Amino acid sequence: MCQVDSSRRLAMQTVAVLGTGDAGFAMAQRLRELGFVVRAWNRTESRARPLKAEGALVFASAAEAVRSAEVVVLTVFDVDAVLDVLGRIAPSLEPEAVVLQSATVGTDISEVVEAATRLDVAMVDAPFLGNPGPARRGELTLMVAGAAEHKQVASSVCHALASHVVDVADHPGGASLLKLACNTWLFGTNAMAAQAAVLTESFGLDPSLFIRAVTGTNADSVYLHYRADQLTGRSEEVLSPVRAAIKDLGHIRSATASAGLPELLLATVQQIYHRAAEAGLGDRDLASVREVLAR
């Protein structure tokens, strides 16, 4: 697993961050803040360019960005983008470089692993839980699966970005599948919490009373307090958008079908998020499904 020495000092490395969307940008900021040399690339270069002001090097191609990098953090949008970028960077990677594959690709991770093996790319399957806020503060949860020696190379980067690292397996694949299970819990919990808040409000009561009532009981949840303002309609700050849930729920439904499991609950949860997107809420926070559940 990713480890640090007893003094908790991070061995600074040169890190390429490929994909500087919201999470990737925050990761690059965090790494720069801790003194890592950051080489950044994004398909739309303007998204990466502001990192120059923070001391990062920004490149026009992914292949250029990975030159001299010991660790490559890959945070592009989907499996097609992952496969494309792997093909582009493979000839330019340093011999001992390790790629942390952090995009959410679901069961398609098997295709990514096959590609990495074919291209002779050392890869750690390393999806994360958290949004740009925790990424910026180094408070993500990372799930890692890969050869022990590859995880060790990426150790400093893992602990720069995450406060919690879950070692899943010694070969890539299981971490991306575990993230599907975690997201299943997240999206279901969010929908039911929103339903409870809406129901409380329908009784003429302050929706925050629902959260206050379960606080400190066995039904309490850190999640409720994390998203309390969004769930009760007091804040429109976007912690994670509905559109991201729709993408990930597609992966979850696919995995469930492949496993031969019934999809009754998942089909309903997915429908709630799709209705939210159809109502123009795709870029709003996950908790905005409360608007669909209130109609």
Q: Express each pLDDT in 16-37 by its tens digit.
A: 999 999 999 999 999 999 999 9
Query: What topology is assigned to 14-172 in CATH?
Result: Rossmann fold (3.40.50)
Instruction: Locate CATH 1.10.1040.10 in the chain.
Output: 178-293
Start and end residues for every CATH 3.40.50.720 domain found in the chain: 14-172
The residue-averaged pLDDT of 263-288 equals: 96
Q: Give pLDDT tens digits for 77-99.
A: 999 999 999 999 999 999 999 99
Q: Residue 290 pLDDT > 90, yes or no?
A: yes
Query: What pLDDT is recorded for position 295?
Result: 85
210 contacts 248 by C-beta, under 8 angstroms:
no
Active site residue 179: yes
In CATH terms, is domain 178-293 a member of 3.40.50.9100?
no
Residue 41 pLDDT: 98
Q: Which two tokens stand for residue 13?
A: 């490395």
Answer whether 281's CB lies under 8 Å from 236's CB.
Answer: no
pLDDT at site 11: 55
Summary mean pLDDT of the chain = 94
CA 42, CA 40: separation in Å to the nearest integer? Answer: 7
Which residue in 52, 151, 179, 247 is the catalytic one? 179
For the chain, percent of residues with pLDDT exceeding 70:
96
pLDDT for the residue numbered 12: 73
Q: How large is the average pLDDT for residues 194-215?
A: 97
Q: Tell me whether residue 162 is exposed, middle or buried, using C-beta atoms within 10 angstroms of its C-beta: 0 to 12, 13 to 18, 19 or more.
A: buried
Asked whether residue 9 carries a pLDDT value surpassing 50, the answer given is no
Please give the structure tokens belonging to residue 104.
Answer: 């959410």
Token pair, residue 146, equals 């890969």
Residue 7 confidence (pLDDT) above 90: no
When computed from its CA atoms, the radius of gyration of the chain, rounded to whole angstroms, is: 20
The answer, as to whether pTM is greater than 0.85, is: yes
Task: Show Cβ contacts of residue 203 under 8 Å, excluding neighbours closer than 6 positions.
Answer: none
pLDDT category at 5 given cuts 50, 70, 90 is very low
SS3 state of residue 43 = coil
Element (H, E) at 74: strand 71-74
Compute the average pLDDT of residues 230-251: 94
Helical pair 242-258 and 264-276, crossing angle rounded to 10 deg = 160
108 pLDDT more than 70: yes
Q: What is the pLDDT of residues 116-169, one digit of tens each?
A: 999 999 999 999 999 999 999 999 999 999 999 999 999 999 999 999 999 999
pLDDT at 44: 95
Position 242, amino acid: V
